[in-house]
Amino acid sequence: MPLGSGDRTLIQIVDAALAEATRKSGAWLECRVGCTQCCIGAFPISQLDARRLRGGLVELEARDPERGARVRERVRESVARISSSFPGDPKTGLLAEDGEAEERFATFADDEPCPALDPQTGACDLYAARPITCRTFGPPVRCGSDAVGVCELCFTGASDDEIAACEVEADIEDLESELLQELEQATGARGQTIVAFALAAQ
């Protein structure tokens, strides 16, 4: 499931913004391999993210079958643990979009590790294919109208002005929206899911 040129462009824009925000943030950042706080707890991802993750897992299985098999096993275990309380349809993995489901999601799977996370190394086995949220969390990167998500472990003691001075804009809103529309027209995929269900779907 190779990435299209549009998704590669999207990732290049986001990764360039992340690199600049990381440069500007310097010693304020605590992000490193082994720090897994942002890898615990479910979060919504787009169908574009889901497609990219599935492609990343296929590539991992071809390159390193044992690691790929471990990711698959963690996916199976995660889905088994969370299906009964999933605020959506556990058969499709799609999150429900009503207010009640959003309230349930606020406390859903808060302690659930991402199945892409290798618990032995603290590294992401699908790092190159990770969702946009994962790419932009930590340093202050703004994506369109979304709020800036800065990790609570970073910028300890920094003022709002010091954080704002490190902020970088990743102008992807129109491109991401266009790519999601193209994906829906081509495949029918729409709505949001989470990493475990995205990877269980293939």
Q: Measured on CA atoms in the order 105, 32, 52, 55, is the torsion positive or negative?
A: negative
And the tokens for 16? 């360039």
For residue 62, the SS3 value is: helix
Sign of the C-alpha dihedral computed for residues 176, 181, 183 and 184 taken in this order: positive
- Whether residue 192 contacts residue 95, with contact meaning beta carbons closer than 8 Å, is answered with yes
Query: pLDDT tens track of the chain, all 202 residues?
Result: 446 889 999 999 999 999 999 999 999 998 888 889 889 999 999 999 999 999 999 999 999 999 999 999 999 999 999 999 999 999 999 999 999 998 999 889 999 999 999 999 999 999 999 999 999 888 888 887 666 778 888 999 999 899 989 999 888 888 999 999 999 999 999 999 999 999 998 7
Token reading at 84: 């009964």
Token representation of residue 13: 């824009």
